[in-house]
Structure 1
Amino acid sequence: MASRTRTTVTLPDDLLAHARAAAPGGNLSAYIEHALRVQQLREAASVVRAWREHAARDADTEELTELFGEDVA
């Protein structure tokens, strides 16, 4: 299991009410974690699309490093 850190966020009342109502089993942390991971994937999708448009299927790691950073290669 990944390490976890407690944090505080401030949300509008209506958004918090919706999140609490929608949280499976009342687990607000799990609901927010899921929402953040979905957003992370949405943001990554544009980078992947750009790579696919400009790189051949057998792109070398140098191109991937430019797009995603050193940790990918």
Structure 2
Amino acid sequence: MSTRTRTTVTLPDDLLAHARAASGGNVSAYVERALRAQQLRDAAPAIRAWREKAANDTEELADLFGEDVA
């Protein structure tokens, strides 16, 4: 299990009310899912750039998959 750190976050009342209602009582898990989803969205441009480069780099693909991809 990963290490957890308690933190304080200030939110608008309406947003907190929604999070409490939608979370089924576990606001921490709800916020964690939201932050993990944002983390993936933040990484998307770098992943997209790598995929575009890798799609044109058959040597790198051959190294990764061990086969002739040309």
TM-score w.r.t. structure 1 length?
0.72
Higher relative contact order (CA 8 A, sep 6+): 1
What is the TM-score with the length of structure 2 in the denominator?
0.75
Give the 5 Å matches for 1:12-27.
12-23=12-23, 25-27=24-26
CA-based RMSD of the aligned residues comes to 1.7
Aligned residues: 59
For structure 2, the residue ranges without an aligned partner over 5 or more in a row are 64-70
**Percent identity at matched positions?**
73
CA distances 1:37-68 after superposition (whole Å, capped 9, x unpaired) = 000011111110011122326268xxxxxxxx
Unaligned runs of 5+ in 1: 61-73
Larger Rg belongs to: 2
Runs of 4+ in 1 over 4 A off after TM superposition: none
